[in-house]
Structure 1
Amino acid sequence: MKKATYKILGLALVLSLSACASSSDKKLDYRSQVKGSPLEVPPGLSDYDKNSQFNLGDGVRSTDVDQNAATQMPAGTLLVSAKDMRIERSGETRWLVVNRPAEQVWPVLQSFWEDNGFTIRSNQPKLGVMETDWAENRANLPQTGLRKLIGGALDMLYDTGYRDMFRTRIERTDNGTEIYISHRGMEEVYTSSAKDNTAWQPRAADPQLEGQLLSALMVRLGTTEDQAKAALQNSVNTSRGASIKGDTLILNDNMDSAWRRIGLSLDRAGLSVIDRDFSSRLYYVTPNPDDRGLLRKSFGKLGESYQVQLKQISTNQVEVSFSDRNGASMGNDKGLSRVLKELQKTLK
């Protein structure tokens, strides 16, 4: 399959209609191929799906959702006023704060993703994690005259060359729930100058897309589109930054805030969170096998797990250190400095 391939019936017809092309106003139009079934995974993405690091094991956490209570809540019935929701921001990380318990929010999250064209591939209330399958944003397709003329009849013959998946993570608070959405993307690229073959490779996470989906979730929960748009635009960066000290990262924040910020930022640094223990302030991570960049080549070993320890060193400072699965320091790992710099960049 070639990137953004058009399997067309007649070149002359396409040329005669191409002048009518225009861009789509709709920016989100995700579709899985079959409702309720996993999206057919493009060649080259199947290894990503099979990797055990994305199948989080069961466990009890401070973020546990009462599964019985959650399943008894009718999906999509929660109505939350604008004053009971807000979008907060720290660096590139945005999250939605909802003054409702996790058990009420959880079923709405599932219906939100499904109604927006996604299939839920992993639903783990005990870990507070929900993950979609791969989906294609059809809004990225060019609106050529041919496609406008024939409509959905030819949709199956078009491909954007991009796939997205999203992980939703929730954290309990004293007054409700925090909702985090993290993005993973793949793109189809040519592997030769002749452009006769392609392969799928990861692309950078898109914080703007994450924010757009948080805004859409606000609408689903009960606000107007204008209120949700304003909440996104008015979110203030509260990050106090981070600094690198030796083989550790120092966050200028309290523990609760630092814990939340690091959780999403680890993905940005090419590390996938496979477990977490808030009581011990530990994240367990593994190098992302689909990150073919410098981080993957230099940090740790594929298939191995590592510990990320958070430690309060003063009222508004938290130290973040890395160790192997046995607790031995990663200070001599040549890729650690790259990870620290990427985290610092994300947390600016």
Structure 2
Amino acid sequence: MPPSPHFLALADGSVFRGRSCGAPVDTVGEAVFNTGMTGYQEIASDPSYAGQIVTLSTAEVGNYGCNPEDMESRALFLNGLVVQNMNRASNHRSREEFADLLARWGKPALDEVDTRRLVLHLRDHGAQKAYLHASDEPVSEAEAVERARAWEGLDGQDYTRRVADPEPRDWNPEGDRFVVAFDFGIKYNILRGLGDCGIRVRTVPSGTSAADVLRLKPDGVFLSNGPADPVAVSGAIAAARELVGKVPLMGICLGHQLLGLACGARTERLKFGHHGCNHPVKNLLDGTVEITSQNHNFTIVPDSLPDALELTHVNLNDNSIEGLRHKTEPLFCVQYHPEAGPGPHDSRYLFGQFRELMNR
């Protein structure tokens, strides 16, 4: 039997063959892996994956299908997907096959890939530029490798403007506390988490100024998750810096990094990032351990923390920074996702903590 004409080519020259099972198009992106056992639709619709080709480490994908309720944003934002087995759905909630959802949004995917070997390769050699060949265009492995190497990559790129909703949106109009949320690629489950605490939310585009935010007279300001390099989101860093001390602030994921940068810290790239829903994090304030959902390629540099910031959470896998709070101002942030979607709910109390901060 001849080898499949479809494959994933990495910039280091490695090639992993598979079968096209999404949109029949080619793409470039940063190859990363996610260790979650479930939640493939939420992963595909998480705007933080913009610019990335995601490999799922779990072997069986698509089994429970897809439905509108499990979308985490208005579209699919990842560049491509790689799995071992793409299965047909068998679940009463399913309204669409996962492969069909990918194809409908123009997202290429490969199955029948040795994802165990691919994940180990990315773990050992790091996330890297990649070219996913899923079309009928005749592309050689060598040509695909060169196309991967020629891609500009994610470093220095502001992807938030590509994924954020350009129009303000209102959420939970019955809430008795009002929060303005910077939309850098905000997930619906974050909005649900805030709403469950009685918070009324208005999302604003990523380029909104601090002055425009303050004109809305919010009780608090939230900085959301989002894709790519935090340093490139310079306008949001400036806005956050101006907001510190004027209104209670909370940040998640990219928002955490932006608040750190606004307070004078630095960020750096992780070797292969944190992508999954089983990352242990220690809360240094009370000694408890939380299992968390994570999705980020960058982290705050520990020795860059200014005196004004206190370390509150650390990752028990690699000791990276997972949470910070300001020593004198109403501000805290976490690198992980307390809303999960998919993942555990150990950290959902943080939304209530944000409300308490606004009540003081």
Same fold (TM over 0.5): no
Which protein, 1 or 2, shows the higher relative CO under an 8 Å CA cutoff with sep ≥ 6? Answer: 1
Compare the two structures and name the one with the higher helix fraction: 1
Please tell me the TM-score bracket, short chain as reference.
under 0.3
TM-score calculated relative to the size of structure 2: 0.26
TM-score calculated relative to the size of structure 1: 0.27
Structure with bigger gyration radius = 1
